[in-house]
Amino acid sequence: MRHGRYPFVVGFLAAPVLLYVVFVISPYLQAFYIALTDWKGLSATPRFVGLENFTRLLDNEAFWAAVRHHGVLLLAMPPATIVIALLFAFLLNVGGGQRGGRMTGIWGSKVYRVIFFMPQVLAVAVVGALFQAIYRPDETGVVNGLLAKAGIEPVGWLIDPDLALWSIIGVMVWQGVGFYVVLFSAGMSSIPKDVFEAAALDGAGRFTLFFRITLPLLWDTLQVAWVYLGIAAFDGFALVQVLSVNLGGPDNATTVLPLEIWRTAFGPFRFGYASAMGVALFFMTITFAALTLRVTRRERIEF
């Protein structure tokens, strides 16, 4: 029986592995090679330049501005998304306390799940158009219209270099919370309700239930969420392209590496230099994921 199982498993995995190698691994390897050339997308035999493209990155202010912005994204977007999503998930699953001898979510939790998840089904272009109207820099914008009624001057949410990146981060958090509410809700549903009910019978309040029971038993899910959100923080291309002024502006205040890669590759057609940026982004992302998994590793709690 065992001898017949291995051919079945190999045959079942052969096609997916082949597709992964062709469409994922192969492009990565090609990008690493192109990063060592001055290829402009036309010549069949690009000139090999070694590490010259990577050396130029050290003097590229737009590149370093994008790296700094990724740092801000890493520090702001994942924590905000996780905290908000955890709060909502807790309220939707056990925030209602005990009813009929069992833990329940707040009233209308099923409806709230659908509402929270709605931003996930919207295309990025739709989200961009929506928040362009919300962030409009005059009183016709939703936010500035409300501020005007309070007697506050309009704010240039997307045209002020000090506010533009934070405004886009707010959109990223808004769009991402719904998915992580569902993810954390799935993690909480796997925790036996008896654990919450026993703690509630012992007099544990919502604060204790959240910090002493929910968080420790949800740690693996939180770890996965942090890695996913960190990877998302190294992207941001679509929203920045749609919402930012002049593609990463004003004055490179919102630029990110994927946007710089796109502008370098399809503007002056410097595919070699753009690939060098892509390789740098690849190693930054891999390093972040590995460090996060290492730092947040802890003994698994069985229940």
Q: Are 264 and 270 in contact (CB under 8 A)?
A: yes
CATH number, span 51-295: 1.10.3720.10
pLDDT at 287: 92
pLDDT at 296: 78
> Which CA distances in Å does 71 have to 66, 97, 191, 210?
9, 39, 34, 29
Q: Are 158 and 135 in contact (CB under 8 A)?
A: yes
- Residue 159 DSSP symbol: T
- Taking the C-alpha atoms of residue 14 and residue 178, their distance in angstroms, rounded to an integer, is 35
Q: What residues in the chain have per-residue pLDDT under 70? A: 1-5, 94-106, 108, 196-197, 200, 202-206, 298-303
- Give the predicted TM-score (pTM) of the model: 0.84
Condensed to tens digits (0 to 9), the pLDDT of residues 99-136 reads: 554 556 667 677 777 788 888 888 888 888 899 889 98
Exposure string over 118-157, b if 16+ CB within 10 A, otherwise e? ebeeeeeeebbeebeebbbeeeebebbeeeeeeeeebbbb
- Taking the C-alpha atoms of residue 249 and residue 11, their distance in angstroms, rounded to an integer, is 51
Q: Are 159 and 245 in contact (CB under 8 A)?
A: yes
pLDDT at 108: 66
Closest C-alpha among 159, 175, 165, 173 to residue 240: 165
Which phi and psi angles does 193 have, rounded to 5°?
A: -60, -25
Give the residues across from 103 on adjacent strands. Answer: 98
pLDDT at 1: 46
The structural domains of the chain, with segments of one domain joined by +, span 51-295
